[in-house]
Structure 1
Amino acid sequence: MGSPHRIGIVGLGFISKVYLETLTAAPDVEITAVADLDRARADAVAGALPSARARSVDELVAAADVDVVLNLTIPAAHAEIALAAIAHGKDVYGEKPLAASFADAQEIVRAAKAAGVRVGCAPDTVLGTGVQTARAVVDAGEIGRPVAATAQMVTPGHERWHPNPDFYYQPGGGPLLDMGPYYVTALVQLLGPVTSVIGAGSRLRSERVIASGDRAGERVPVDVDSHVTGILEHASGALSTLTTTFDGTATKAPPIEVHGETGSLGVPDPNHFDGDVSLHALGGSGWTPVALRAGIAGAARGIGLLDLLRAADGVAPRASGDMGLHVLEIMTGILESAASGSRVSLATTVERPPLVPFAPLA
């Protein structure tokens, strides 16, 4: 098998537990270092990993026994950590979004290319059987030429369950930058890159009340739009309508629908790796289930990092920095359009990565 891929993890909050489960189960991965602003938390995680040492962030990004930095910090810190790792010649894989601003994300991609290192970016949920099976249907022409898609995420807000939800309501957060990457990445996977966007946004209230944990009852200021709607014009000519909100309660609508000349496709929640895909053919009698035909069965967060680690030299990872950059420009373009009232043309594009063959996680 050769030498294992040596990973250092920065940020050991809520999402790190799932990444640790995925990575510690991978035979070709070794977690050699962990870092967190809470040193006690880092010490506890390192204590459960025989191969890992708790280090400061500066020590971790410079460590000789770290090949890849997994960046699980809050969005405001994504660029700082990624650029520091790149400066030390490390590959980087980060949680979404790639950075809190499009300019910072551009700098990450530019610096990585100049340094000859790789950048990957969540979400990797689109590599599971849900979105990949739906994409296989689209690619096979089973709905004809795609003409439109709808996507929506409706929730009353993360303060209802997250004990420290502050960053969701600060610049770099909000429903679009937080949850939008799942939906926008799925739309790009299904329909290809986007050339321009139109957006509108609003906010229901100026503060939120934490509902759980040690800070229950504490009020958090809202400094971003908590309801954002956008129209995405794909290079193919298809139009997608996206709604993300922290101001709703629930919805009965499917997370994503894709409509073509000869059929419509129901796509499962892109925040999950699996889910049911359904097809309604033109002239058919109703929705019929689609058997799994693509994607990694049983996948969990971290599979995108494994795809990056195992990619052959010169082969771009499927959850790539270029994809993260394009998705971020789509979202920041929607926010810019919402503020200005004008259509925003995009400067980036990206190639759809190859379809993921149907296979179990192992």
Structure 2
Amino acid sequence: MGQSVIAPARVGIIGVGAIAGQYLASFPKLANVHLVAVADLDMERARSVAEAAPIPGVRALTVDELLADPEVDVVLNLTIPRAHADIALRAIAAGKDVYGEKPLTATVAEGVEVLAAAEAAGVRVASAPDTVLGTGVQTARAAVDAGAIGRPISATATMVTPGHERWHPNPDFYYVPGGGPLLDMGPYYVTALVTLLGPVTSVIGAASHTRDERTIGSGPRAGERIPVSTDSHVTGVLTHASGALSTLFMSFDAVATRSSNIEIHGETASLIVPDPNGFAGDVQIRRLGEDGWETLPVSAGYPEASRGIGLDDFAGTPAGETPRTSGALALHVLEIMESVLISAHTGTAVPIVSTAERPAAVSQG
């Protein structure tokens, strides 16, 4: 990894909800970033997180205070998806780089606005997911790039869960426009597919939902019913620029799948890629004419990676080079997902306007 412009970059988190704990646990292991402040609409929660942070000296600030703080170089945007664009634009206006949780923004139009604002301001924007930088997807990519499966033909990506309301104490945002299984979990799978097979040129989709209400299963609101106003079961077919076809199956309605993984099929072999919501896992190959699956040795990716490795990689990317978790990649992934949903309601294929280069590979270690 190259050296960051400011090493380490000073990071301020906005939004310290459920996902923040995973990032906080990673900070002591990250070389290119240093956490200096946290902010939240709930100041009491911000103070509690600052006091419990595994890094000394973290300050609890209001959102406005953090955005104006000259000691914050990068805003780590962990707000809910519908707030991503607002916080990103405010951070950009304050002259700060932005790294956000997925998706980049709630809509493609917002994403275009954010990237245009960043370019005009001379700051950088990047976005999760960073799971694709781990040893699982990167080892699979190394195999594809080495020709281990021959010419790639197709891929399947499967994610099935009966719904996040079973465990999340405030799951409302999963079931409104901007939520649903595709926009929530799809970024892991679609980013992995673009990393493995390259950009997408068109999509077609279908979608449904089985229930108009969900019941919260944990926390102080357990038993409360919430409305569903977005699709909770989505399928799609992605046509990559290479000619390969990927099939998505994303559901908050079905019960389970034996493995939430990706399969890549080529002319001479097939690969099983581990769950892209994780960083590691076995990559298996079955070659033409062979009877069984072989587990490939780890050959690429950040070892023992966790949430935050993308932020660290972003901060360590030299000025003028494209970060692996670039805003352009995140916008392309967002357009793919939004277009699948548009196609589901129009019944026609939708061309993808944006494109993104496959991010640079992560060499072993």
Task: Provide the TM-score with structure 2 as the length reference.
Answer: 0.96
Range with bigger deviation, 29-38 or 114-123: 29-38
Range with bigger deviation, 21-30 or 104-113: 21-30
* Displacement of 1:336: 0.5
Equivalent residue runs for 1:298-317 within 5 Å: 298-317=304-323
Task: Find the counterpart in structure 2 of residue 195 from structure 1.
Answer: 201
Task: Work out which of the residue numbers 49, 52, 65 in structure 1 matches 2:58.
Answer: 52
Paired residue type of 1:44: S
* Displacement of 1:4: 2.9
Q: Deviations over 1:86-111 (max 9, x none)?
A: 01110000000000011001111111
- Which ranges in structure 1 are unaligned for 5 or more consecutive residues? none
Are 1:24 and 1:31, in contact at CA under 8 Å, matched by a contact in 2? no
Task: Work out which of the residue numbers 96, 105, 121 in structure 2 matches 1:99.
Answer: 105
Task: Find the counterpart in structure 2 of residue 5 from structure 1.
Answer: 9
Distance in 1 of aligned mates of 2:340 and 2:33? 38
Task: Count residues with an aligned counterpart.
Answer: 359
* Displacement of 1:315: 1.1
Pair 1:67 & 2:73 matched: yes
Closer/same/farther in 2, CA of residues 27 and 133 from structure 1, 3 Å limit = closer
Distance in 2 of aligned mates of 1:23 and 1:50? 11
Q: Indicate the RMSD between aligned Cα atoms, in angstroms.
A: 1.2
Paired residue type of 1:59: E
Q: Deviations over 1:129-151 (max 9, x none)?
A: 00000010000001000010001
Task: Work out which of the residue numbers 35, 41, 50 in structure 2 matches 1:31.
Answer: 35
Distance in 1 of aligned mates of 2:343 and 2:43? 41
* Displacement of 1:52: 2.1
* Displacement of 1:28: 4.2
Distance in 2 of aligned mates of 1:223 and 1:253? 28
Paired residue type of 1:312: P
Distance in 2 of aligned mates of 1:222 and 1:54? 35
Pair 1:185 & 2:180 matched: no
Are 2:32 and 2:312, in contact at CA under 8 Å, matched by a contact in 1? no
Paired residue type of 2:15: G
* Displacement of 1:3: 5.0
Range with bigger deviation, 16-25 or 232-241: 16-25
Pair 1:117 & 2:123 matched: yes
Task: Find the counterpart in structure 2 of residue 297 from structure 1.
Answer: 303
* Displacement of 1:285: 1.7
Task: Find the counterpart in structure 2 of residue 327 from structure 1.
Answer: 333
* Displacement of 1:286: 1.4
Distance in 1 of aligned mates of 2:180 and 2:359? 27
Task: Work out which of the residue numbers 41, 44, 47 in structure 2 matches 1:40.
Answer: 44
Pair 1:345 & 2:342 matched: no
Task: Find the counterpart in structure 1 of residue 90 from structure 2.
Answer: 84
Distance in 1 of aligned mates of 2:231 and 2:258? 23
Matched residues, percent identical?
63
Task: Work out which of the residue numbers 20, 25, 39 in structure 2 matches 1:21.
Answer: 25
Task: Find the counterpart in structure 1 of residue 214 from structure 2.
Answer: 208
Paired residue type of 1:16: A
Distance in 2 of aligned mates of 1:326 and 1:31? 29
Paired residue type of 1:234: H
Task: Find the counterpart in structure 2 of residue 225 from structure 1.
Answer: 231
Pair 1:176 & 2:221 matched: no
Distance in 1 of aligned mates of 2:32 and 2:100? 19
Task: Find the counterpart in structure 2 of residue 243 from structure 1.
Answer: 249
Q: Deviations over 1:271-294 (max 9, x none)?
A: 000011000001112111111000
* Displacement of 1:51: 2.4
Q: Indicate the SS of the match to 1:196.
A: strand
* Displacement of 1:5: 1.3
Distance in 2 of aligned mates of 1:14 and 1:290? 34
Are 2:208 and 2:234, in contact at CA under 8 Å, matched by a contact in 1? yes
Distance in 1 of aligned mates of 2:105 and 2:60? 25
Task: Find the counterpart in structure 1 of residue 145 from structure 2.
Answer: 139
Distance in 2 of aligned mates of 1:131 and 1:268? 7
Task: Provide the TM-score with structure 1 as the length reference.
Answer: 0.97
Task: Work out which of the residue numbers 120, 124, 129 in structure 1 matches 2:135.
Answer: 129
Paired residue type of 2:129: P
